[in-house]
């Protein structure tokens, strides 16, 4: 079963607009962590933001914020004031912490294209 | 502070050969994990090493192996290469084991090694 679902294969957004990238997850563990990474065409996976399952507030890092809705198992990434350099693949990932099965599981990604 | 360093960046190998990829984690990080990225299968977890011990392994055949040295540097080896092994191999490092779930244990990735098998 898919543990991380990203339903938007591709998105086109006008420069300077805000964009929301969707991510839903599935886990029965009470303790987990959610990451967002950006992957330009060069291949490097760049860390953007992290949300722990016990964190009371939504995470923010500069222009990035995470809209964490625990009951809905949703962890959407919001990029404010998009820039041309934001064009890339974006991956949502979940850290599973159950002993003996610890790993990072990725979604299929969303290709974001910023239009000038 | 230097990031995660992977070498080589690009390589081409022939079917049946073997390949070794190297990963130097961020200074002070003791966990190194490896991932394979292909257009068909996406990003898949290979294995994790912490303090020179393999802690977890993904669903890959025994041709895929790894090790970690006392300075936390890690190598990944693929023997008897197949065409389907062509992929981007990404290495990630973190302070603690993958399963340590707090914001202080952020997982950082390197630039990856692009492997083409012909």
* Residue A79 contacts residue A63 (beta carbons within 8 Å): yes
Chain position carrying tokens 């993958």: B98
- Name the pLDDT band for A29 (thresholds 50, 70, 90): confident
* Residue A95 contacts residue A74 (beta carbons within 8 Å): no
CA dist B74 and A104 (Å) reads 18
Give the closest residue to A51 by CA, choosing from A31, A28, A72: A31
Give the phi and the psi of residue B79 in degrees, each rounded to 5: -100, 160
Q: Decide if A102 and B43 are in contact by the 8 Å CB cutoff.
A: no
Mean pLDDT of B90-103: 84
Token couple for B91: 């290495």
Helix and strand counts by DSSP (H, E) for chain A:
0, 12
Residue B25 per-residue DSSP state: P
CA distance B103 to chain A (A): 7
- Name the pLDDT band for B8 (thresholds 50, 70, 90): very high
Dump pLDDT digits (tens) for A81-97: 999 999 999 999 998 77
CA dist A50 and A24 (Å) reads 15
Token couple for B47: 């294995």
* Residue B14 contacts residue B65 (beta carbons within 8 Å): no
Interface test with A, best of B98, B100, B105 (most A CBs within 10 A): B98
Burial of A116 (0-12, 13-18, 19+ CB in 10 A): exposed
B109 pLDDT higher than 70: yes
Mean pLDDT of A62-80: 96
Give the closest residue to B113 by CA, choosing from B81, B76, B80: B76
In this complex, which of B35, B56, B110 lies closest to A102 when CB atoms are compared? B56
A28 pLDDT higher than 80: yes
* Residue A100 confidence (pLDDT): 65
Is the C-alpha dihedral spanning B53, B58, B59, B61 positive or negative?
Answer: negative
* Residue B101 confidence (pLDDT): 67
Mean pLDDT of chain B: 94
Whether omega for the bond prior to residue B8 falls within 30 degrees of 0, making it cis, is yes
Give the phi and the psi of residue B11 in degrees, each rounded to 5: -155, 150
Report the DSSP beta bridge partners of residue A103. A96
Beta-strand ranges (E) seen in chain B are 5-7, 10-13, 19-24, 31-38, 42-50, 53-57, 64-68, 74-78, 87-94, 108-109, 113-117
In chain B, whose CA is at the least distance from the CA of A54?
B102
A2 pLDDT higher than 80: no
Dump pLDDT digits (tens) for B28-64: 999 999 999 999 999 999 999 999 999 989 999 999 9
Of A54-68, B31-45, B81-95, B102-116, minimum mean pLDDT range: B102-116
Q: Decide if B106 and A47 are in contact by the 8 Å CB cutoff.
A: yes
């Amino acid at each position: 079963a898919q543990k991380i679902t990203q339903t938007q294969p591709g998105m086109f957004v006008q420069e300077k607009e805000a964009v929301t990238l969707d991510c839903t997850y599935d886990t029965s563990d009470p303790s987990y962590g959610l990451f967002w990474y950006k992957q330009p065409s060069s291949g490097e996976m760049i860390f953007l933001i992290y949300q722990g399952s016990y964190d009371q507030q939504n995470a923010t890092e500069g222009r990035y914020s995470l809209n964490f809705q625990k009951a809905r198992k949703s962890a959407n990434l919001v990029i404010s004031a998009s820039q041309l350099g934001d064009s890339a693949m974006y991956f949502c990932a979940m850290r599973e912490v159950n002993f003996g099965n610890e790993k990072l599981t990725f979604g299929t990604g969303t290709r974001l294209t910023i239009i000038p | 502070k230097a990031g995660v360093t992977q070498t080589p960046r690009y390589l081409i190998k022939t079917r049946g050969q073997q390949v070794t990829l190297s990963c130097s984690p961020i200074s002070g990080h003791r966990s190194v994990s490896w991932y394979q990225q292909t257009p068909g299968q996406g990003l898949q977890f290979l294995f994790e090493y912490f303090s020179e011990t393999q802690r977890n392994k993904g669903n890959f055949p025994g041709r895929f192996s790894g090790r970690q040295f006392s300075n936390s540097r890690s190598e990944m080896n693929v023997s008897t290469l197949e065409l389907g092994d062509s992929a981007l191999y990404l290495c990630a490092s973190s302070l603690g084991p993958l399963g340590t779930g707090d914001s202080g244990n952020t997982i950082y990735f390197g630039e990856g090694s692009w492997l083409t098998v012909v």
